[in-house]
């Protein structure tokens, strides 16, 4: 036979204090989740600033959607697209992509630069690219697919593409190289791929 275990008497004050402690513990655990859900659904206290300089492409579009054919990339890529003839602005973006690539310093092996054009380049510029840009990859560009994905943009564009071929950021030809370099360095820093 077991003797009955006598529990100590609990006063009403101790009982109230225990309930308040339980409520406080639950509030500390549940309140942040409720606040985060409300912030997400009601869109309040959401930061208005951003840390990137280009246009964020967050809808899962890929190089194939952009109309770039025959891509064999490893790592991140700075891709210049030109739906018409490659003019001076296009040439500036190709130069800028190479300079940003060089500016990566120790991370230069994690990225590459490329040009996708819908029309053949003129012979002089093609010869210049062969001579001065030996690592520049060149791809054909389908204008119909490009116009569907890129929208009504005019002229050459520079894109940052992740190692899986997803479009990440887009820049027009008015962007400064330092801004692109900062964005790409940030992506390489936080990336677990490439």
Answer whether residue 184 is part of any domain: yes
Q: Is 32 helix (H, G, I), strand (E, B) or coil?
A: helix
Q: Is there a single domain that holds both residue 101 and residue 121?
A: yes
Task: Give the residue numbers spanning the domain of 71.
Answer: 55-190
Count helices and strands (H / E) in the chain.
Answer: 6, 6
Q: Is there a single domain that holds both residue 28 and residue 121?
A: no
Q: Is there a single domain that holds both residue 24 and residue 114?
A: no
The pLDDT value given to residue 194:
67
pLDDT greater than 90 at residue 173: no
Q: Are 68 and 167 in contact (CB under 8 A)?
A: no
Long-range contact pairs involving 19-22 (C-beta distance under 8 Å, separation at least 24)? none
Q: Is there a single domain that holds both residue 167 and residue 123?
A: yes
Total structural domains within the chain: 2
Grade residue 179 by pLDDT with cuts at 50, 70 and 90: very high
The CATH number of residue 81's host domain is 3.40.30.10
């Amino acid at each position: 036979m077991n003797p009955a275990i006598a529990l100590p008497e609990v006063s009403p004050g101790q009982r109230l204090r225990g309930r308040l402690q339980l409520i406080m513990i639950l509030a500390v655990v549940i309140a942040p989740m409720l606040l985060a859900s409300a912030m997400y659904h009601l869109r309040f206290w959401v930061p208005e600033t951003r840390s990137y300089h280009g246009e964020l492409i967050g809808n899962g579009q890929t190089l194939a959607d952009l109309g770039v054919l025959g891509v064999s990339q490893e790592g991140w890529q700075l891709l210049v697209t030109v739906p018409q003839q490659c003019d001076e602005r296009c040439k500036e973006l190709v130069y800028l992509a190479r300079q940003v690539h060089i500016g990566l310093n120790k991370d230069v092996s994690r990225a590459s630069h490329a040009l996708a054009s819908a029309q053949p380049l003129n012979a002089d510029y093609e010869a210049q690219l062969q001579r001065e840009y030996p690592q520049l990859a060149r791809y054909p560009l389908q204008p119909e697919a490009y116009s569907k994905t890129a929208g009504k943009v005019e002229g050459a564009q520079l894109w940052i593409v992740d190692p899986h071929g997803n479009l990440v950021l887009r820049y027009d030809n008015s962007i400064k190289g330092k801004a692109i370099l900062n964005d790409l360095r940030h992506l390489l820093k936080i990336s677990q791929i490439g």
